[in-house]
Amino acid sequence: MFKIEKRPIPSAKWNWGAPIVAVLLTMVFGGALFAVLGVNPFLALEKIFYEPLLGEYAFYYRPQLLVKAAPLILIAIGLSLGFRAGIWNIGAEGQYIIGALCGAGLALALYPMELFILLPLMVIAGAIGGALWGLIPAFLKVRFGTNEILVSLMLVYVAEQLLASMALGLMKNPEGMGFPGSRNLQQYPSAHNAEIISGTGMHWGVVAALIAVIFAYIVLSRHMFGFSLRMSGMAPRAAKFAGVNPTRMVLICMGISGALAGMAGLFEIAGPAGQVSIDFNVGYGFTAIIVAFLGRLNPVGILLAGILMALTYIGGEITQSQMGLPLAAIQVFQGMLLFFLLAMDLLTNYRFRPTAKEAA
């Protein structure tokens, strides 16, 4: 028999080893799932993990990778700050939608005025919208002690209904011949979040994601705010003793994560998605939770995890179109990854030891 025992110091080796083992285990069990679904697992895994990066058509997929990874990373960075402080914003999807609505709303209101600072203004509007939406659960938490998990999640459903209302009502394209959805921002030059370098997928959202990674890394490792944040999550009483104001911490974390999610939504709606439509959101806000954990709540880790997760999205599309693998299988695959990661986390903080032979 083995016995689980807490390590005196978390293992640095397993801190990075655990995600890798989790990915490998997910490949094994995910492959088995694909096999059950009647798809050649080796071929499927190759299409998911190899083809988009180095395959024959990689030139087409690689830009997609950035397009998909950017919102995931941007949102996950914001979430990771809160998660580290023990503040569970799981309503990023809602903040993403509201951010997109605010930014797009600004552009649609000004249409067709060409204004060179329109896109930056939209980004600001998106960030403010997302932040305010994120601050609702934060405010209710600090003022009334409500649970931020439940409130932020309820607000996702509210935001989805708002989106539907906007797409079918206020923001509907007046020249759209009755079809739902707004004007396409891709055809509104001032508002279009276009590729910075054509054909690379590199739009302003990618730049913002990279800046967020670098900024988060520096703040977490070098600034008192990052230190306070980590303390709050590890030992709330000690943080309070050290002088951290828990109320302010909740407001700041929820505000930042809301703002980043809102920005991600704006970049998406002004770029790849193009228009306000009832289903423009595809669950990045929820997948970003997986990305944040998979990246160990570490900015660099999140960068890598975001790219990996984008890979599964693109791989999922390839396997769906070429091999008939249902898209839901990829969702299961992502869920599995999170499961294995959480399980493997044990190795970071605990170790197995053979139990001494029981006295006869």
Partner 1 sequence: MDLSSINPVLLLASLMVAATPLLFAALGELIVERAGVLNLGVEGMMITGAVSGFIIAVESGSPALGFICAAIAGALLSLLFALLTQVFLANQVASGLALTLFGLGLSALLGQGYVGIKPPSTPKLDLGMLADIPFIGRVLFTHDLMVYLALALAIAIWFFLHRTRAGLILRGVGENHDAAHALGYKVVMIRFAAIAFGGACAGVGGAYLSLVRVPQWTEGMTAGIGWIALALVVFASWKPGRVILGAYLFGGVNVLQLNLQAAGAAIPVEYLAMSPYLVTILVLVIMSAERSRAPASLGRPFHASH
Partner 2 sequence: MGTPLLTLSGLTKAYPGVVANDDVSFDIQPGEVHALLGENGAGKSTLVKLIYGLVSPDSGKMALNGMPYAPANPNAARASGVAMVFQHFSLFDALSVAENVALGMDNSPPQGELSTKIRTVSDAYGLPLDPHRTVGDLSAGERQRVEIIRCLLQDPQLLIMDEPTSVLTPQEVEILFKTLRKLSAEGTAILYISHKLEEIRSLCDNATILRLGKKVATCIPAQKTAAELAEMMVGTSLKPPKRAAEVSSEVALHVSGLNLPPAQAFGTSLRDISLTLHKGEVLGIGGVAGNGQDELLAALSGERLCAADQVKLDGKPVGNLGPTARRHLGLLAAPEERLGHAAVPDMSLTENALLTGVTRQALAKGGWINWAAAKGYAERIIHQFDVRTPGPHVAARALSGGNLQKFVIGREVLQAPHVLVVNQPTWGVDASAAAAIRQALLDLATQGSAIICISQDLDELMEISDRFAALNEGHLTHARPAAGLTIEEIGLMMGGAHGMEAAHV
Chain residues binding partner 1 by CB under 8 A are 4, 6, 37, 88, 90, 140, 144-147, 149-151, 153-158, 161-162, 164-165, 168-169, 286, 289-290, 293, 326-336, 338-339, 342-343, 345-346, 349-350
Among partner 1, partner 2, none, what binds residue 322 when CB lies within 5 to 8 Å by partner kind?
none
227-246 binders of partner 2 (CB under 8 A) = 227, 230-231, 234-235, 237-243, 245
Nearer to partner 2, 3 or 28 (CB): 3
Strand partners, 2: 354
Alpha-carbon span 118 to 104, nearest angstrom = 11
Does 224 interact with partner 2 (rule: CB under 8 A)?
yes
Amino acid identity of 306?
G
Instruction: Pick the closest to residue 216 from 292, 132, 126 (CA basis).
Output: 292
Backbone CA torsion sign across 62, 52, 78, 96 = positive
Question: Which of the choices partner 1, partner 2, none does residue 9 contact, using the CB cut-off of 5 to 8 A by kind?
Answer: partner 2
Partners of 5 in the beta sheet?
351
Task: Choose the one of partner 2, partner 1, none that binds residue 53, judging by a C-beta under 5 to 8 angstroms depending on kind.
Answer: none
Query: Contact region for partner 2 (CB under 8 A) — 56-64, 114-122, 170-178, 216-224?
Result: 216-224
Pick from 346, 209, 323: nearest CA to 266: 209
Tokens of 314: 């693109």
Residue placing its CB nearer to partner 2 in the complex, 13 or 223: 223
Residue 225 binds to partner 2 (criterion: CB under 8 A): yes
Q: Please tell me whether residue 38 binds partner 2 under the rule CB under 8 A.
A: no
| CA distances in angstroms from 188 to 71, 96, 176, 274, listed in the order given | 22, 21, 15, 10
Least gap, CB of 107 to partner 1 (angstroms): 22
Q: Is 36 in the site for partner 2 (CB under 8 A)?
A: no
Which of partner 1, partner 2, none interacts with 178 (beta carbon under 5 to 8 A by kind)? none
Nearer to partner 1, 20 or 343 (CB): 343
Close Cβ partners of 265 (under 8 Å, ≥ 6 residues apart): 71, 95, 96, 97, 98, 99, 100, 101, 103, 126, 130, 281
332 binds, among partner 1, partner 2, none (CB under 5 to 8 A by kind): partner 1
Q: How far apart are CA 109 and CA 196, in angstroms?
A: 25
The smaller minimum CB distance to partner 1, of residues 137 and 271, is found at 137
DSSP, res 355: P
| 43 touches, from partner 1, partner 2, none (C-beta below 5 to 8 Å by class) | none
Q: In the bound complex, what is the minimum distance in angstroms from residue 87's beta carbon to partner 2?
A: 17
d(CA 189, CA 144): 45
Q: How far apart are CA 239 and CA 152, in angstroms?
A: 24
CA–CA separation, 303 and 2 (whole Å): 36
| Residue 189 contact, options partner 2, partner 1, none, Cβ 5-8 Å cut-off depending on partner type | none
Residue 172 amino acid letter = K
Among partner 2, partner 1, none, residue 124 binds (CB under 5-8 Å by kind): none
CB of 16 vs partner 2, minimal distance in Å: 17
Question: 245 or 321: whose CB is closer to partner 2?
Answer: 245
Q: What is the DSSP string of 230-255?
A: HHHHH-HHHHHHHT--HHHHHHHHHH
Give residues in contact with partner 2 (CB under 8 A): 5, 8-10, 222-225, 227, 230-231, 234-235, 237-243, 245, 353, 356, 358-359
